[in-house]
Chain A
Amino acid sequence: MQYMLLIYEDERVYGPDKSGPAIQEIVAKHMAFNKELGSARVGGAGLKATAAATTVRTNKGVKTVHDGPFAETKEQLGGYYLIDVPDLDAAIAIAKKLPVLQDGSIEIRPLLGGA
């Protein structure tokens, strides 16, 4: 099954434009983790800070463009993995090993038609 792992952390730990030493540290960890994942990894990326986010909203058919993320939250989507593994337990095992610098959450979402 294919799953999306959505990584939520308080992005402030990485500095205003995600360029400080913390980001170097976490990127290095993700590089190592990618190797470990091997063929289970279908895709993935880190995302720039929500300050760089732009949102297109549709309201009653009218599309408007806004500065900022879809919703202001304490923890923000900071990156994702797309993985292909046998079942949820395998996805959970990977999510538990995913590098994070501090408190945060990994949301595991099966892909529609991702069997």
Chain B
Amino acid sequence: MLDRVARETGGRIVAALAAYFRDLDTAEDAFGDACAKAVEAWPEHGVPFDPAGWLYRIAQRKGLDAIRRRRIRERLAPEPPPPEPTPEDTLLDDARLIPDERLRLIFICCHPAVAPDSRAALTLRLVCGLSVSEIARAFLVAEPTLAQRIVRAKRKIAESGVPFEVPGPDNWIERLDAVLSTIEIAYAKSHEDAASAGAHASFALEVLELTRAFAELLPAEPEALALAALVRYAEARRPARIDDQGSMVPLAEQDPLLWRRSFIDEADVYLKRAWALASPGPRAIQAAIHGTWCWRKNLAEPAPWKQVFALYEELIGHRDDVVVRLNRAVALAEVAGPEEALREADRLASHDLNNFLPWHALRADLLQRVGEISAARAAYDTALALSPESAERIFLERRKSELAGQ
């Protein structure tokens, strides 16, 4: 019971506490103390009428207590102790009384003064309530490393004077973009694991919830709405991403009948709202690319490569980077043939791409399709040497084995 309440409402409670105490550590410790108290009290006195409200109230008291003790230690005059809750208080507890400060907390966690690799970890920890070990697994770093990253980020926020406020209009665009990028990174971490082994699946749900909250808190920001759409389209396809043998399934070969309709319907609503607000920004275009795939009804319907290619052309106008160009090349192979796409892929060649698995995987596929068997084999080998995840490894090995028959 406590686990579920903490998971579902923890982010909101910690956010409210952080806004109240203007200190992340005090908020987190107070919430931890309240949970510890619940472990003792709930089995004995029963689960309170409103568990979230109870946790918030107790945490507030625990936090005030901690501040009081700190003041005594520092030999400052302590504030009077907070009053014990009366029986009426317990009846009055109501989650609706917890102010929704998650927006503030997200902006604090994603402040540009926080190191970029720490922003996503801190957001997942404080706003989504994930444990350090869950986040460490997703980011493929050792638990102590990640714990330290979070401690350092919190210290930076406290010591550099990051305000506990939603940024003003002057900084809005820059700061909003930092938040959206952070959520994208968080989602990418949960999405990378195509097989959704264990803990990751629920982690993707946390990010879905985060984008929902963010879109609700900022209903007039098209890019926030677009991101909510994007992660839903991507998540809708999860059941079709892996076949029976554990191999990754390319988008065009995924059976649309396996996709989760409810996610697609939700995404459509977000995307329409984003489009109604402004001419599409980069995230709205990306969401539209995902949407275009998700609107395919079944495998008999032709794959929407033409529309996808046109959208990538448009996306390049906003975000011209190598990942977008690679994805555009994938679509180019379908609309203009593999030779043309191979020329484009080779034009992208650079030192940085030497260790970039998707580039080698794409080249391998294109070389195979134009009949350059030995070059294709070399490209598959290079890709496989870059330690792909199991689903992608099985896929690449299978494709490579097909070379023998060509």
Enumerate chain A interface residues (CB-CB to B < 8 A).
Answer: 1, 3, 86-93, 108, 110
Contacts and interface: CB of A to CB of B under 8 A. Distances in A.
A88 B170 CA distance: 14
B159 A89 contact: no
A110 B170 contact: no
B160 interface: yes
29 contacts: A1-B161, A3-B161, A86-B163, A87-B161, A87-B162, A87-B163, A87-B165, A88-B111, A88-B113, A88-B160, A88-B161, A88-B162, A88-B163, A89-B162, A89-B163, A89-B165, A89-B167, A89-B168, A89-B171, A90-B163, A91-B161, A92-B113, A92-B171, A93-B170, A93-B171, A108-B160, A110-B159, A110-B160, A110-B161
Interface residues of B, number: 12
Contacts of A86: 163
Nearest to B113: A88
Interface of B: 111, 113, 159-163, 165, 167-168, 170-171
A1 B113 CA distance: 16
Contacts of B163: 86-90
Contacts, number: 29
A87 B171 CA distance: 14
The 10 closest A-B pairs by CB, nearest first: A87-B163, A88-B161, A1-B161, A87-B161, A88-B162, A89-B163, A88-B160, A110-B160, A110-B161, A88-B113
Nearest to B168: A89
Given A87-B163, A88-B162, A89-B163, 5 more contacts: A1-B161, A86-B163, A88-B113, A88-B160, A110-B161
B173 to A, nearest CB: 13
Contacts of A92: 113, 171
A7 B111 CA distance: 22
Contacts of A93: 170-171
A84 to B, nearest CB: 11
